[in-house]
Structure 1
């Protein structure tokens, strides 16, 4: 077959339904392919494939292709490859999207194609065993300096703990799995492996910031937290399906940044505050400085519950991360566009200032 005919066949393969999105991140219209794995990927993921040249060799779909390579892509394709490389992905394991940080996308690609973690269940032990122990660099609350701290995650105890000294018997903090959240924040923390862990203490939201020099180690901690949360929610809500529980495991911030707000009395002037919003809550912190990250460790000052745009009823949320079973899906199809800022003294106005996604 002539080269032009080969390229036309390649374009036909590319337009198959299973090949219309990136095999790794779901980005639409992938324009690169792995000749060795038989998958179509986006340009961003193709750069990550280049980091494992012994596993994957990539080529643009706009280049001239050999007939043998086109035949491989026609025989494989994204669905066939996923059936092999993603056959045993745990429900709790985070599948990155194209909007996620590079660390998550790269480790997802390496886990699939280089380490074959989802073909052999025994390779998932680091994050699925229900217990994990190790050392992470944690940012200090007062001076912002990162120090090595021992962390223990135990499903049996229902908590993530860390210790200020390596030989300490009592933990510095006990973070209940029930209220635990984790999200990668490399820019905020100043490290590509930076993870922000959020939890409740005395009904206030607290944050700690950690990282590990080994990217796989940090992603394993992240997925271990998700696994612990998943198993906790399975017990707490036995009637819920995996599809209902998985979105509750961890939450990324939809928006965060500065806004200025008044105090409890309308006579008070506007003060700069750092706001964060996920899909269920708007929170602000008293300390006006978002960096260094140690400033985030102060307790949240107020939590605002979004209400439904259609019926104006507030979403029902407990102090944890999941609503009660009877109201678990309340407002799930509504738009949380109306935000009521009110307390015992009445509504408090606020105005935006460089809110960032």
Structure 2
């Protein structure tokens, strides 16, 4: 069929915006292919920017000049211009496939405001506005708490970036006007990320976290912050990434990709490697099954997920065969028959348990005592195998 020719164009094997495989929706005025989820965001920004059609349903489109146009562009060539000036710390939809607001925000920045478009093309918003957006937040009021003590109260704090002894630091103050800080977070090699609002405290749904390096003064601590909107949370994460040197750009889209922090690179590579391990390398699945999961230290609702243990890595997927939500190396990890955090009202349920490793702390619910014990045995077995080595 004629649309097969479009799918064979370089780069069209993945979505132009989020890298989902085998996209079957198109923007006929931009000449690119996208997945179903991104097509919804394209419709939202308006037909004056992107005109969406289905490759398989709108078959009358794929002939003559339109077919020639679609075959002449392609996602790879398109993004060499439209993502050429995308700052390396920008949050990309591939990182959070389960958070719709990340996808919508990114697509709005990319197409409505053309913030990442190659500057020499000239067709872009004012440089001062673009620079302000790229620079992000430098200070502001937030709510803060320690992740290590989930019953600790939220406290209002004023955050401000500065440099101390040549290293980036995020200081927090009781009030904006005060000179002396309550504390400082060393940002070198730290990791900043968003938390799923559906897993968060209902009174503080818009959260982000900072995980410090094991070499820092705070030695691998996790700090939680709450702000007024998802957009503000993303702006803080991007600003922290910019100061710390953490980057989020996916590989292969531009000529050069900055170096990621070690832990973040490991996490992203693990996500990408699952399909390769299963399909190309033939690695066996040690254990798998449906499971309920939520972020540790929160009292948000439990989310239905599918989990797998593959080659010493604990994968959590949106659903069986779906997008990878988390990829956590089990080396040096620990499992507990009790969850990392406990429901205040309901107490511990029979199927709940916890997993702690270098990249995250998870609370899980296997649904029953028997299923929980099966997961605990599989996880402990994988950790032991990694420790002893084969």
Q: TM-score range by the shorter chain?
A: 0.5 to 0.7
Aligned residues: 272
Report how far residue 86 of structure 1 moved. Answer: 0.7
Q: Does 1:245 align with 2:222?
A: no
Q: Is the 8 A contact 2:191 2:212 kept in 1?
A: yes
Q: Is the 8 A contact 1:10 1:74 kept in 2?
A: no
Q: Which of 56, 59, 62 does residue 53 from structure 2 map onto?
A: 59
Q: Which of 181, 200, 203 does residue 189 from structure 1 map onto?
A: 200
Structure 2: how far apart are the matches of 1:150 and 1:106? 28
Structure 2: how far apart are the matches of 1:133 and 1:285? 38
Q: Is the 8 A contact 1:130 1:154 kept in 2?
A: no
Aligned to 1:43: 36
Aligned to 1:344: none
Q: Is the 8 A contact 2:331 2:383 kept in 1?
A: no
Q: Does 1:171 align with 2:181?
A: yes
Structure 2: how far apart are the matches of 1:148 and 1:127? 25
Aligned to 2:160: 152
Q: Which of 133, 138, 142 does residue 136 from structure 1 map onto?
A: 142
Aligned to 1:346: none
Structure 2, gaps ≥5 residues long:
120-126, 248-255, 272-292, 297-325, 345-355, 360-381
Structure 2: how far apart are the matches of 1:197 and 1:292? 24
Report how far residue 69 of structure 1 moved. Answer: 4.4
RMSD: 4.3
Structure 1: how far apart are the matches of 2:329 and 2:133? 26
Distance change in 2, residues 1:164/1:337 (3 Å)? farther
Report how far residue 84 of structure 1 moved. Answer: 2.3
Aligned to 1:111: 109
Q: Does 1:215 align with 2:201?
A: no
Report how far residue 169 of structure 1 moved. Answer: 2.4
Report how far residue 30 of structure 1 moved. Answer: 0.2
Q: Is the 8 A contact 1:85 1:112 kept in 2?
A: yes
- TM-score normalized by structure 1? 0.60
Structure 2: how far apart are the matches of 1:22 and 1:284? 37
Q: Is the 8 A contact 1:133 1:152 kept in 2?
A: yes
Aligned to 1:13: 6
Report how far residue 176 of structure 1 moved. Answer: 0.3
Q: Does 1:96 align with 2:93?
A: yes
For residues 175-324 of structure 1, the aligned pairs below 5 Å read 175-186=185-196, 187-190=198-201, 193-199=206-212, 204-230=219-245, 245-248=259-262, 250=264, 278-279=328-329, 282=332, 288-290=339-341
What are the Cα deviations for residues 33-54 of structure 1, in whole angstroms up to 9, with x where unaligned?
Answer: 1233221011121122232125
